């Protein structure tokens, strides 16, 4: 996680996410990256967001604060291996991005993410629970 202080003169500090090798492997088993082939340029968006931030627009300040808070929560979810919660946090982050800029997405991207929602938020995509023993009690 990257951490900076307030102000124009930024001092960037890197805080590694605390996770074991097993957790890293588990994360890799849940992660899917997909290139939609859709290109966009973010410099205009960045200029707009910074401008609204410097103008102290309340909605922009609130969204940016929420995104900062989400980053901390995501780091914790990763270190705990709570993949379902991480997916929910990523979804919330996407919603906040769309508040910052309604043009963040387009019709093909929206259809793609809607199609993924059932498998990205359901526990069925996570590792299966331990099978029951012969007497019906969970195996340890």
Full DSSP string of 110-129: HHHHHHHHHHHHSGGGSPPP
What pLDDT is attached to residue 134? 46
In-domain check, residue 48: no
In-domain check, residue 138: no
Higher pLDDT, 12 or 118: 12
Instruction: Choose the weakest-confidence range: 41-45, 54-58, 100-104.
Output: 41-45
Average pLDDT, the chain: 78
In-domain check, residue 28: no
In-domain check, residue 19: no
Q: Is the model's pLDDT at 132 over the cut of 50?
A: no
Question: Which residue is it, tokens 């929602």?
Answer: 117
What pLDDT is attached to residue 69? 94
In-domain check, residue 34: no
In-domain check, residue 116: yes
In-domain check, residue 87: yes
Q: What is the CB neighbour count within 10 angstroms for residue 84?
A: 15
Tally of domains in the chain: 1
Instruction: Choose the weakest-confidence range: 16-20, 40-44, 129-133.
Output: 129-133
pTM metric for this prediction: 0.71
Could you tell me which of 61, 63, 56, 55 has the C-alpha nearest to residue 102? 63
Higher pLDDT, 19 or 43: 19
- Please report which helix (H) or strand (E) contains residue 81, including its range: none
3-class DSSP assignment, residue 46: helix
In-domain check, residue 21: no
Q: Domain range for residue 100?
A: 58-122
């Amino acid at each position: 996680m990257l951490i900076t202080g307030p102000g124009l003169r930024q001092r960037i500090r890197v805080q590694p996410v605390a996770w074991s090798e097993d957790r890293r492997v588990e994360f890799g088993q849940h992660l899917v990256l997909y290139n939609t082939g859709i290109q966009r340029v973010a410099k205009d968006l960045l200029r707009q967001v910074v401008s609204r931030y410097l103008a102290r627009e309340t909605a922009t300040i609130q969204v940016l604060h929420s995104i900062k808070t989400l980053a901390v929560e995501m780091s914790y979810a990763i270190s705990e291996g709570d993949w379902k919660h991480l997916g929910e946090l990523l979804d919330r982050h996407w919603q906040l991005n769309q508040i910052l800029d309604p043009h963040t997405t387009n019709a093909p991207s929206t259809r793609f993410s809607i199609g993924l929602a059932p498998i990205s938020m359901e526990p069925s995509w996570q590792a299966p629970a331990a099978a029951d023993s012969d007497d019906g009690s969970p195996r340890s």
